[in-house]
Chains A and B, each alone.
Chain A
């Protein structure tokens, strides 16, 4: 199984809603990532989890709250979002080798297209 799955595929939410995005992989990867991609722009890194611990937070607003409950699952909890947060949210995973060669290929999911009204 070399697939990263993301649910839901599409999400429409109001600014007062709370919702969650889910990402799952069963490749035994120990690094997982959230990226945000606005229309016609490249993906931007948001968070990195390494061995289920948050290792990188790219100064993302607190209305985005990541969670890594186990090595296969990554969530992104959303609360009080703004219309400018509408974007494609991409999850990725890669092998994490402690002390090994840092050339890890990242496997991306298809993304969740989020619209904030």
Chain B
């Protein structure tokens, strides 16, 4: 019973904004939305998280819909090094551990 749904793969041109969607229609009120990515043969890397409000950091922006049932991760100027599997995860965080879904394989094209 997946808590999130993501497209299995996406392409984006280098230099363009990459917009990765995620559906999480069963999210609870105390659950956060986390985004991690995993570049081939490396450990996952934290990108950003949010609860209700939109968030931005040096890596990306996170847009969460008002009903919190979906979100979009935005990489504003994608580079070849952003090619990775991107995981959208919902959970309480803390020391609960992360439940990864299948993720989206984002391929940045030169």
Contact = CB atoms under 8 A, between A and B. Distances in A.
A102 B32 contact: yes
B45 to A, nearest CB: 7
Contacts of B93: 102-104
Contact of A97 (B36, B94, B97): B94
A43 B44 contact: yes
A90 interface: yes
Contact of B97 (A42, A56, A107, A111): A56
Interface in B42-83: 42-46, 49, 51
A107 B43 CA distance: 9
Contacts of B43: 4, 90, 92, 108-111
Nearest to A105: B46
Interface residues of A, number: 28
A31 interface: yes
Contact of A48 (B36, B38, B97, B101): B97
26 contacts: A31-B94, A31-B95, A35-B98, A42-B85, A42-B87, A42-B102, A43-B38, A43-B98, A45-B99, A48-B96, A50-B95, A55-B95, A56-B95, A56-B96, A94-B94, A96-B95, A102-B32, A102-B92, A102-B94, A102-B96, A103-B51, A103-B94, A105-B46, A106-B46, A107-B46, A110-B42
B39 to A, nearest CB: 11
A45 B46 contact: no
A96 B103 CA distance: 26
A42 B95 contact: no
Contacts of B46: 105-107
Contacts of A103: 32, 49, 51, 93-94
Contacts of A92: 43-44
**Of A4, A58, A105, A109, most B-chain CB atoms within 10 Å:** A105
A42 B88 CA distance: 11
A64 to B, nearest CB: 15
